[in-house]
Chains A and B, each alone.
Chain A
Amino acid sequence: MAATYFTEDHEWIRVEGDTAIVGITDYAQEQLGDLVFVELPEVGRTLARGDAAVVVESVKAASDVYAPCDGEILAVNEALSGDPALVNSAATGDGWLWKMKLADASQLDGLMDAAAYEKHIG
């Protein structure tokens, strides 16, 4: 069964077994405003927790999205190349950013659950 965790930097990570899908939260997309460009990483790249993995660009500014955990990128959401606004319209669904293989599932313990994240964004 999938479990979803959240970071203080407004990423979500949905974990199923040793793979996970990562995106930014609805709160984050709302703060950013309309996205016009998403720079996706290369499949196969190895990420360390805290690495800038993706750059999302709104009309006004560019922001980094960080890896919530160590691991290897298995897939990226190619649909965002043609339609970056998917992140705005479906941040936690079709607007996902990348899929990864987790190197150390124990890192998830430091992340927030939905209730804690709700509290975090106030």
Chain B
Amino acid sequence: MTGPDELKSLPLRDLPLRDMHETAGARFGGFAGWSMPITYPLGVMKEHLHCREQAGLFDISHMKLFRLAGPQAEAALARACPIAPAAIAQNRSKYTLLLDDRAGILDDLIVTRLGPDAFMVVANAGNAEADEAELRARAQGLDVAIEPLDRVFLALQGLGAEAAAIRAGLPVEGLVFMQGIEPREHWFLSRSGYTGEDGFEIGLPEADARALAGTLLADPTVAWIGLAARDSLRLEAGLCLHGQDITSEANPVEAGLMWAIPKAVRERGGFVGAEALAAAMAAAPARRRVGLKPEGRQPVRAGAVILDDDGAAAGIVTSGGFGPSANHPVAMGYVRADRADDAFHTEIRGNRIALAVHPLPFTPHRYRRG
């Protein structure tokens, strides 16, 4: 029997709370340069379902928090990203993109206003260093300090996340989806996440994180959830994984992420990638990102070639697996924009599997929008 693809044996960084994951019986694997807990003894299927129905605790310390502060913090962000920082109210969070000058997606970010001249930026693990360099380059000449923060980053997600957070003493009352606050010095607490469920993300110093994780895990509704279930949760929720579903080879039009770019910002321009984005908007996109439901029970994985009725290549699957809550295989990918929704299939080991274009998400979002 062959094992699942082993990841390249590059030296991996350990999470600050690694010992807690070891104690919990985690199996580790490499992701974006980090040795991450992939599954716990509960197993990916039960972890996934536990998160949806109760509360899942994730260690996402591989992700990076940056604090941007200074009189020209707004100007720096407006140049760096297709976003209107001035329009972000105090404690509101916005999903945005870091584009290159071809409007390719270098990363997706969450930006939260912390004060009149201060923002929190959350970046993906694999891109953190490049993002920092880009942010610095784009802020050149502006009066803003970009500070990478040394934090443990935890996510508490699921139907029971709010109740568990309150029992653990987290000040979450009044916080709605896509709001973030600094409840204590060196803490960042936002109502957000990447599972499609209600929940929170908490950046905090290691000692505080150990105490908080211990308190949360003593709650019978809370369990550690590994990266494998994080991936199936976000895929069911129709959320993009940067590096797979969105890359520098995709622009926001093809990726279906124009909702993240306010109309006024598109018209005004002034951000890196503005010209290329305007051109992409003016032209009919050659391809589009779609949800795909494979027929039957066999998962269709990232890299599978999407074929049209004539057997010609019509796209590629960028994420695919089994959806434990959907209880069927789920996938996402890019298809030629000139092909009808019912035209697609793939072949796996000689088996033809129909791929139905499926609205995203596969499982309804349950965010607490207030």
Which chain A residues have a beta carbon within 8 Å of chain B's beta carbons?
A: 9-11, 24, 28, 31-34, 36-37, 39, 55-66, 84-85, 88
Contacts and interface: CB of A to CB of B under 8 A. Distances in A.
Contact of A63 (B1, B44, B324): B1
Given A36-B322, A37-B297, A59-B321, A64 B2 contact: yes
A32 B298 contact: no
B51 to A, nearest CB: 13
B39 interface: yes
A65 B322 contact: no
Contacts of B1: 9-11, 24, 28, 56, 63-66
A59 B4 contact: no
Given A9-B1, A59-B232, A34 B298 contact: no
Nearest to A62: B301
Interface string B321-350: 110100001000000000000000000010
B298 A59 contact: no
B297 A36 contact: yes
A109 B324 CA distance: 42
A32 B324 contact: no
Contact of A34 (B2, B3, B45, B231): B45
Contacts, number: 69
Contact of A62 (B297, B299, B351): B299
Residue from A56, A61, A65, A85 having most chain B Cβ neighbours under 10 A: A61
A31 B3 contact: yes
B43 A34 contact: yes
Interface of B: 1-5, 39, 43-46, 48, 228-229, 231-232, 297-299, 301, 321-322, 324, 329, 349, 351
13 contacts: A11-B1, A33-B39, A34-B46, A36-B329, A37-B329, A59-B48, A59-B229, A59-B232, A59-B299, A59-B324, A61-B301, A63-B2, A88-B43
Most buried by B among A10, A31, A57, A59: A59
A37 B299 contact: yes
A63 to B, nearest CB: 5
Nearest to A85: B45
Contacts of B329: 36-37
Given A60-B4, A61-B5, A62-B299, A37 B322 contact: yes
A59 B44 contact: yes
Contacts of A32: 3-4
Nearest to A61: B4
Contacts of A37: 297-299, 322, 329
Given A9-B1, A64-B2, 18 more contacts: A33-B43, A33-B45, A34-B44, A37-B299, A37-B322, A39-B298, A55-B349, A57-B322, A59-B232, A60-B321, A61-B4, A61-B301, A62-B301, A63-B3, A63-B4, A64-B1, A65-B1, A85-B45
Given A33-B39, A37-B322, A57 B2 contact: no
Contacts of B3: 31-32, 63
A56 B48 CA distance: 20
Contacts of A59: 44-45, 48, 228-229, 232, 299, 321-322, 324
A69 B117 CA distance: 70
Contacts of B43: 33-34, 88
A9 B2 contact: yes
Those 5 A-B pairs whose CB atoms lie nearest each other, nearest first: A61-B4, A34-B45, A36-B322, A59-B44, A9-B1
A28 B5 CA distance: 14
Nearest to B297: A37
